[in-house]
Structure 1
């Protein structure tokens, strides 16, 4: 592969822990060039520009344009302070520093939402019995994309008359709504620890630990000093009843949160579940608690039972979505080409 090409766009998927880079070739039907993908730890670099230079050095690949999908609220399309890491980014400053023609910043879940246009069937696993409809099969469709990783991301995909647009939200920071006596006890514990309790305090990697601590306190047990992966490992090998209960509770609360998002966004066509925890937690999501609480919306239960949920298993949805946005930026009608 040549070191640069006019049709190539640099892609970045920037979260709280990792940043992933790759190139998109906007002339291709599958625009993400998978052999260009590299991952770096945020803590190893002082800035995004420094990490990009390392990517250039490691791969010999460059581009004159960039789409940066960042885990934070984009202000005026120009700046972002990453929610769970210390970096701040200004698009024009970054493009000047790296001598690029342009840099576009988007919320990471805007990219995750756009990714579903390019995903293949083998990238997806149903959670529950329902399959999602084809994107673009109807003139109007609304989907929600939600996922736990370092934080909790929320986005929306709107399909209108053959065109796609995304909703960039910070829905993960909406307040946690307790729905059961156990939820209320958990909320009381976390409220005492944090004050306001957002959904992200429960539904993310650290949220697993927060839930574990809360359930230990409710049970009158002293918690071990566990990482999220310790909790899921103990749950999966059934060696710790509290960890099993924690993961089951996580799946149920995640279902409630996802169902609330359907009601809020009007995402009646379906929900895509994404994020770094999904492949690990998928068996627990499929065991009943997720769908049970997803559907338990009172007078809207009948409708919610018809809303499909599907897990994204592709490891690079952020970069795939950034590639889709790069294609749209190039002027190609991505949805029309997908449906040929």
Structure 2
């Protein structure tokens, strides 16, 4: 599906997708069949002391572009002028940032962008997990979707489609309390409660949470704890499919499935759950072949409903940027 571009917006727009680890920038504009992403560029957030510094550096690289405004999707709650990115040190005032980069700035939650991107995705941008398949009902039909994605943190959003128009539900659902689904997961929670006064879902089901989960699994199984990065965990798991890291990724897949099913129940997202995020893409084989779908459907009296809900991984490499662009021109 593709959103129709508004003919009233002909200007160049600076768009960004800003997470805990990376920031991605591009320019877009309306007037084409598909939303363009021009001059794409990625930086590590650790390489710049401030967001304004990163934006000004990017703008200086492309003097031929003359954006009149900026739309920034950030991994943070957006409740006022003051913004603090959840998993990196950047903090800023929206109004002050606009003055520093010389244009009006709109800031949206990163999962608002992820939810906004859904109508713009093509078939090749999605990979199904499980047997349930998307409905072929007309777009005018009332629908509800959920978006759940582990990146550096854990994002949650929703989309309600009514009479052909999409309304995005903003959320910080990744910070709800972690809910164990069995005795083993209860033991994982007990381990983490010795480290954190409150254990959110994000503490386990995210890129940053993978290290927590690895250490908790090791502790529950009576093994020596390891300090590994998410990349090292996935590499070690691939090399040793029966080892601690592989078992951790299987647990991760089950926890993600259980959480995604809970989000579907909470939002009434009977039409589908989409899973974006770099972590999701990197762990696609573990999610597709592991216990994700079993735990997604394992909802007691409502299991029959969950069995009918399709789950799809978003494989578009710049879904967050594209979502910010769709929001900007929509």
Whether the 8 Å contact between 1:232 and 1:243 is mirrored in structure 2 is yes
Equivalent residue for 2:169, pick from 167, 170, 179:
167
Alignment correspondent of 1:263: 265
Matched residues, number: 321
Cα offset for 1:88?
Answer: 1.6
* Runs of at least 5 residues in structure 1 that lack an aligned partner in the other structure: 329-340
Equivalent residue for 1:23, pick from 17, 27, 35:
27
How far apart, in 2, do the equivalents of 1:83 and 1:216 lie? 27
How far apart, in 2, do the equivalents of 1:93 and 1:117 lie? 33
Alignment correspondent of 2:309: 307
Equivalent residue for 2:94, pick from 91, 112, 126:
91
Whether the 8 Å contact between 1:234 and 1:240 is mirrored in structure 2 is no
Instruction: Summarize deviations over 1:146-167 as a string: whole Å, max 9, x none.
Output: 1111100111111111111111
Equivalent residue for 1:236, pick from 230, 233, 238:
238
Whether the 8 Å contact between 1:79 and 1:105 is mirrored in structure 2 is no
Instruction: Summarize deviations over 1:76-103 as a string: whole Å, max 9, x none.
Output: 3x33211111112322222222221x21
Whether the 8 Å contact between 2:254 and 2:292 is mirrored in structure 1 is yes
Cα offset for 1:195?
Answer: 1.8
Matched, 1:8 2:12: yes
Equivalent residue for 2:196, pick from 172, 194, 197:
194
How far apart, in 2, do the equivalents of 1:44 and 1:229 lie? 20
Equivalent residue for 1:179, pick from 167, 178, 181:
181
Alignment correspondent of 1:81: 84
Residue pairs, 1:147-162, within 5 angstroms: 147-162=149-164
Cα offset for 1:43?
Answer: 1.2
Whether the 8 Å contact between 2:139 and 2:163 is mirrored in structure 1 is no
Cα offset for 1:6?
Answer: 5.0
Whether the 8 Å contact between 1:113 and 1:157 is mirrored in structure 2 is yes
How far apart, in 1, do the equivalents of 2:140 and 2:132 lie? 17
Whether the 8 Å contact between 1:117 and 1:135 is mirrored in structure 2 is no
Equivalent residue for 1:204, pick from 194, 203, 206:
206
Matched, 1:51 2:21: no
Alignment correspondent of 1:336: none
How far apart, in 2, do the equivalents of 1:79 and 1:104 lie? 12
Helix, strand or coil for the counterpart of 1:194? coil
Whether the 8 Å contact between 1:7 and 1:27 is mirrored in structure 2 is no
Matched, 1:226 2:235: no
Deviates more, 1:251-260 or 1:224-233: 224-233
Superposition CA RMSD, Å? 1.5
Cα offset for 1:288?
Answer: 4.0
Cα offset for 1:32?
Answer: 2.7
TM, length-normalised to structure 1: 0.91
Instruction: Summarize deviations over 1:190-227 as a string: whole Å, max 9, x none.
Output: 11111211000001112111111011111111122211
Helix, strand or coil for the counterpart of 2:169? strand
TM, length-normalised to structure 2: 0.94
Helix, strand or coil for the counterpart of 1:197? coil
Equivalent residue for 2:42, pick from 32, 39, 42:
39
Equivalent residue for 1:254, pick from 245, 253, 256:
256
Alignment correspondent of 2:4: none
Whether the 8 Å contact between 2:211 and 2:227 is mirrored in structure 1 is no
Deviates more, 1:121-130 or 1:78-87: 78-87
Helix, strand or coil for the counterpart of 1:29? coil
* Runs of at least 5 residues in structure 2 that lack an aligned partner in the other structure: 1-8
How far apart, in 2, do the equivalents of 1:8 and 1:130 lie? 40
How far apart, in 1, do the equivalents of 2:242 and 2:307 lie? 33
Helix, strand or coil for the counterpart of 1:52? helix
Q: Pick closer, same or farther for the CA change 1:134–1:157 going to 2, 3 Å.
A: farther
How far apart, in 2, do the equivalents of 1:197 and 1:153 lie? 16
